[in-house]
Chains A and B, each alone.
Chain A
């Protein structure tokens, strides 16, 4: 089945700096890659996603890039703010499959 690896597991940045989280996937047929944010004690919520027919997508301070050849995708957060502190999960949906496989999560801490 699909295997998604995510790193780093923890990331500390200074407010205003950029943060990058990287994921790799194993199934070359995967075609949908969402990112979820989970604040402490709350439910995961979708923040951005990308499909396999594009290489990059931006939404204000966040962006996701996809390299299908290398089977990896990344989340980029610019001008980080304290409210960005949370656990971020990447996920992959394999073509022909029916379930999202999540990475193990990255604990992002934005320090003042």
Chain B
């Protein structure tokens, strides 16, 4: 597609369940970011992938969070044993280069609600 695609757009889950969120970046974009946006809050950095380099995982809030990027394209963010405080919109963004030389293109986000 022409833009960053995320799925699911909405996910409601029960506390303790695992969830997977998918991001399909713009074709050819080497940089991929995950951010989290809680209700009325800013954009919290989670993880960054750049090409074949080791990802920057410094923003992941706990070891329940993990992400991978297969083949330098699609990325999956996994949250294990979800908690209510995980409820937020998870935004994926891609960029043709590293962040300081180009625009970040965001997806529509995946809204996660943990009951």
Task: Please list the residues of chain A having a beta carbon within 8 angstroms of any beta carbon in chain B.
Answer: 1, 6, 31-32, 34, 36, 42-46, 49, 89, 93, 95, 97-105
Across the interface, B48 reaches (CB within 8 A) one of A44, A46, A49, A99, namely A99
Q: Which of B16-24, B60-68, B70-78, B99-107 contacts A (4 or more CB under 8 A)?
A: B99-107
Min CB–CB distance A90 → chain B (angstroms): 10
Q: In the complex the two chains form, is A103's CB within 8 Å of B100's CB?
A: no
Q: In the complex the two chains form, is B108's CB within 8 Å of A42's CB?
A: yes
Q: Quick one: given A98-B98, A98-B99, A99-B33, are A43 and B109 in contact (CB under 8 Å)?
A: yes
* Interface residue SS majority, chain B: loop
Task: Please list the residues of chain B having a beta carbon within 8 angstroms of any beta carbon in chain A.
Answer: 33, 35, 41-43, 45, 48, 50, 56, 58-59, 91, 98-101, 103-104, 106-109
Task: Provide 15 A-B residue pairs closer than 8 Å at the C-beta atoms, listed in order of the A residue.
Answer: A1-B58, A31-B100, A32-B101, A34-B103, A43-B91, A43-B107, A44-B106, A46-B103, A46-B104, A98-B98, A99-B33, A100-B45, A102-B35, A102-B45, A105-B41
Min CB–CB distance A7 → chain B (angstroms): 12
Min CB–CB distance A8 → chain B (angstroms): 14
